[in-house]
Structure 1
Amino acid sequence: MSQNTQALRQAIQEKLQTAITLELSTLPPYLTAYFSICPNTNIKATEAIRSVFMEEMLHLCLAANVLVSIGGTVSFSAKTIPQYPCVLGFKGREFNIDLARFSRQSVNTFRRIELPDYMPPLDESLHEKENVSVSGYSIGEFYNSILDDLHTLHDSCISSKEALFIADASKQITETYFWRGGGKPIAVVDMDTARAALKEIIEQGEGTHISLYDNDNVEFGQTRELAHFFKFNEIYYEREYEENDDPLKPPSGKKFAVSYGEVYPLKTNCKQSDFADNEELAQLNHKFNMTYTLMLKQIEDAYAGNPHVLYNAIMNGMHDLSPIARTMAKIKIDPNDPLSETGAPSFEWVQPLEIKETKNGI
């Protein structure tokens, strides 16, 4: 392989590693807002947030499929997973992401994350050093740049009669090992499937070009869904979209209730150290973090040639996180705190050795 081809392949692998970190960085804030909502309230908002974080897991897997298909390795560690508060830096717009309760402010942050590339920024940038730096104005522009690089590398490989993609997709996640939700995992074995995988990420987040909707009804015969930005926009404006609404304008349809008062008063950006004087919360958060870290290690293992492990990661990981988080949300950190702030998971890494010794008790 020529030096230039190898350098471009490595650059694309690094971009895809960033893409995986980007997708992972959205999960804890979405989950924290979701866990904070009191049961049987804010039904429409709850359903929207849940559908989005399920699809973000799909996006992580699609990006990982592309990475593995060109010889890269999926890896998670204490140094590579996002820590909060996290500064997400797009080209020309940077902003904080917090682990925070469901509020109009948190929903606005979610809108900023999912902003389509044809829309202006929602507000001023922070101009801070980014924890996650994305070489694009939006998620869509970032993924399109990866796709452009892949086309260039693919053409170069054809000219030099070299293989870009690994034909064996046994180290990738396919529908056999996935769960139900919008979209489907795509095994990446050539340029066409790589393009389909990356376009699926873009369209679920931003919609098809200047459109409210993703393309899952056409691609997979599924129910047509609003793209992520527009789901959050409905919550923000407390109003549904009409089919022919202008994507550049707020929704004009039926109003629905959003109650930010029916939310547990979670402390923002909790750390394990915040629970030093509350043994119950300390134990619950440690258990949550062990389960979260184990889930990430299982996803890593799935992409090392054991794809069946992904099902365990979701069934025994994601499903186990919810009851722990909901229990924490009801417990005051300090009984004497006038704000009565309650606990929330910190999504911190726990050393794998510690997990190995205790995982039977998870």
Structure 2
Amino acid sequence: MNALLYARSNRIVELMEQPAERRDADWMREAAQQAVLLELATLPPYLCGLWSIDASPGDGTVVDTLREIVFDEMSHFGLACNLVTTLGGTPLLADETVVPRYPGPLPGGVRPDLSVFLSGLSKEAVKMYSRIEEPDHPLVRAVAEHTSIGAFYTALLEAFRAHPERITGKRQLTMLMPHHGEGNDVVPLDTLAAVESAIDVIKEQGEGTSASPENPYPGAAGERAHFYAFREIFHERKLRKNPETGRWEFKGDKIEVPTALPMGRVPEGGWPRTGPSAPDAETIQILDESNQAYSDLLRALEKPWQVTDTSQAEDLLFAAVGQMSLLRDPATRLMARPIAGAGGATYGPEFRYVAP
């Protein structure tokens, strides 16, 4: 196993420090693999927030927003896998050395001061979500600037533009999802134009554009890019452009944030299995069931990009997407189980990889 792919390394930072003339085919394949890990890393925290919501109160705005963002990230993941294979590589997912761990940094050293954690929906969780997605130059400020996901994708795109001959178009998968929005299709990346379009979707759905906080590839009219959608939830107000100053401000309609199950933060190394703070045997069994379902999903998601027959690959991808629904049941059962002596906080999924 290539130790440089380890999810807690600073590999993205190191890759971006390489001068353009040294960004060879191996550089591009490794950068694309890191993009796959980045997209994978966002899903567990967002899913924990979504699954923790009590769907009865509220007007559904927050639930709809989180669900839309999760579907966006799933399509970004598929596009990133197509980036790897069009460069002649194969996405690596089902390996404990690359699967993102929580709590911990984003893969590759992006935003090194940010620790991504798993918990129920809360102010702190939403603040963390927005920091994951923050562009280098947001229209509204959240935190200090660091290397962003968008800047990394820009560097990868520049390498594609410098070397379009490296686009092979091999092992490209298609999954059309028009009901989830304009930019949510996983499409073959067999030309430079297709690569440019895919990276544009990934960046602008997450960060917005330099002029607007709106998602330019929305599932519904007025949908915000991820960073701004999370900031609206945090402030509990929609963004509105001040007609006098031209600045965007959180002075629009009020957002009703629903109540959420009090899932506690998953500790370093996961919930303890032994000792005085260990949960009961049934909770441990559900934790293991949850991790097994996640690990099975990662193995299933690897397979479509490993085969050369397009029809077989797309059948495998369709089956893998179906497996995603198996993650929710054990997760929500854990969120209903209180942690002894934790003031009402409950357990939740760990999203840890276990070998077969």
The equivalent residue for 1:85 is: 103
- Of 15, 21, 28, the residue aligned with 2:44 is 28
The equivalent residue for 1:360 is: none
Structure 1: which amino acid aligns with 2:101?
Q
Kindly provide the CA deviation profile for residues 209-249 of structure 1, in whole angstroms up to 9, marking residues without a partner as x: 331122226xxx97452111111111011112347788964
1:233 touches 1:250 (CA, 8 Å); kept in 2? no
Deviation at 1:253, TM superposition (A): 1.1
What is the percent sequence identity of the aligned residues?
A: 28
Give me the whole-angstrom Cα distance separating, in 1, the residues matched to 2:70 and 2:348. Answer: 18
**Structure 1 residues 212 and 5, CA gap change in structure 2 (3 angstroms):** closer
1:330 touches 1:342 (CA, 8 Å); kept in 2? yes
**Structure 1 residues 90 and 123, CA gap change in structure 2 (3 angstroms):** farther
RMSD over aligned Cα atoms: 2.7
**Structure 1 residues 272 and 349, CA gap change in structure 2 (3 angstroms):** farther
**Structure 1 residues 265 and 11, CA gap change in structure 2 (3 angstroms):** same
The equivalent residue for 1:256 is: 255
1:5 touches 1:153 (CA, 8 Å); kept in 2? no
Give me the whole-angstrom Cα distance separating, in 1, the residues matched to 2:350 and 2:100. Answer: 11
Deviation at 1:185, TM superposition (A): 1.5
2:292 touches 2:353 (CA, 8 Å); kept in 1? yes
Give me the whole-angstrom Cα distance separating, in 2, the residues matched to 1:51 and 1:252. Answer: 23
Give me the whole-angstrom Cα distance separating, in 1, the residues matched to 2:132 and 2:246. Answer: 16
The 3-state SS of whatever aligns with 2:115 is strand
TM-score (normalizing by structure 1): 0.80
Kindly provide the CA deviation profile for residues 233-275 of structure 1, in whole angstroms up to 9, marking residues without a partner as x: 110111123477889643321112225xx22221211525358
1:267 touches 1:344 (CA, 8 Å); kept in 2? yes
Give me the whole-angstrom Cα distance separating, in 2, the residues matched to 1:12 and 1:191. Answer: 14
The equivalent residue for 1:198 is: 199
Deviation at 1:296, TM superposition (A): 1.0
Structure 2: which amino acid aligns with 1:12?
M
The 3-state SS of whatever aligns with 2:114 is strand
Kindly provide the CA deviation profile for residues 70-129 of structure 1, in whole angstroms up to 9, marking residues without a partner as x: 10110111110100111237667621111112111111111111112213863368xxxx
Q: Does 1:116 pair with 2:135?
A: yes
Give me the whole-angstrom Cα distance separating, in 2, the residues matched to 1:224 and 1:67. Answer: 32
**Structure 1 residues 253 and 13, CA gap change in structure 2 (3 angstroms):** same
Deviation at 1:307, TM superposition (A): 2.6
Number of aligned residue pairs: give it: 320
Within a 5 Å distance, the mapping from 1:231-270 to structure 2 comes to 231-242=229-240, 249-259=248-258, 262-270=259-267
- Of 61, 71, 74, the residue aligned with 2:88 is 71
Give me the whole-angstrom Cα distance separating, in 2, the residues matched to 1:36 and 1:200. Answer: 28
2:105 touches 2:112 (CA, 8 Å); kept in 1? no
Q: Which runs of 4+ in 1 moved over 4 A?
A: 4-7, 89-93, 221-224, 243-248
**Structure 1 residues 199 and 329, CA gap change in structure 2 (3 angstroms):** same
Q: Does 1:101 pair with 2:107?
A: no
Kindly provide the CA deviation profile for residues 153-206 of structure 1, in whole angstroms up to 9, marking residues without a partner as x: 22xx4xxxxxx22244xx222125x68423221210011111111111011101
The equivalent residue for 2:318 is: 311
Kindly provide the CA deviation profile for residues 283-337 of structure 1, in whole angstroms up to 9, marking residues without a partner as x: 111111111111111111011122321222222x221111221111111232xx1
Within a 5 Å distance, the mapping from 1:330-341 to structure 2 comes to 330-334=336-340, 337-341=341-345
**Structure 1 residues 95 and 300, CA gap change in structure 2 (3 angstroms):** same
Q: Does 1:39 pair with 2:55?
A: yes
Structure 1: which amino acid aligns with 2:306?
A
TM-score (normalizing by structure 2): 0.82
Give me the whole-angstrom Cα distance separating, in 2, the residues matched to 1:179 and 1:311. Answer: 15
Deviation at 1:278, TM superposition (A): 1.3
- Of 219, 225, 228, the residue aligned with 1:227 is 225
Segments of structure 2 that go 5 or more residues without pairing to the other structure are 1-19, 308-312
Deviation at 1:54, TM superposition (A): 1.3
**Structure 1 residues 91 and 101, CA gap change in structure 2 (3 angstroms):** closer
Give me the whole-angstrom Cα distance separating, in 2, the residues matched to 1:244 and 1:145. Answer: 34
- Of 68, 71, 78, the residue aligned with 1:54 is 71
Give me the whole-angstrom Cα distance separating, in 2, the residues matched to 1:280 and 1:231. Answer: 37
The equivalent residue for 2:159 is: 149
The farther-off stretch of 234-243 and 87-96 is: 87-96
1:93 touches 1:121 (CA, 8 Å); kept in 2? no
Within a 5 Å distance, the mapping from 1:277-296 to structure 2 comes to 277-296=279-298
Segments of structure 1 that go 5 or more residues without pairing to the other structure are 126-135, 158-163, 353-362
Structure 2: which amino acid aligns with 1:269?
V
**Structure 1 residues 328 and 338, CA gap change in structure 2 (3 angstroms):** closer
**Structure 1 residues 190 and 338, CA gap change in structure 2 (3 angstroms):** closer
**Structure 1 residues 90 and 62, CA gap change in structure 2 (3 angstroms):** same
Structure 2: which amino acid aligns with 1:264?
L
Give me the whole-angstrom Cα distance separating, in 1, the residues matched to 2:290 and 2:110. Answer: 34
The equivalent residue for 2:7 is: none
Deviation at 1:5, TM superposition (A): 9.1
The farther-off stretch of 195-204 and 32-41 is: 32-41
The 3-state SS of whatever aligns with 2:163 is helix
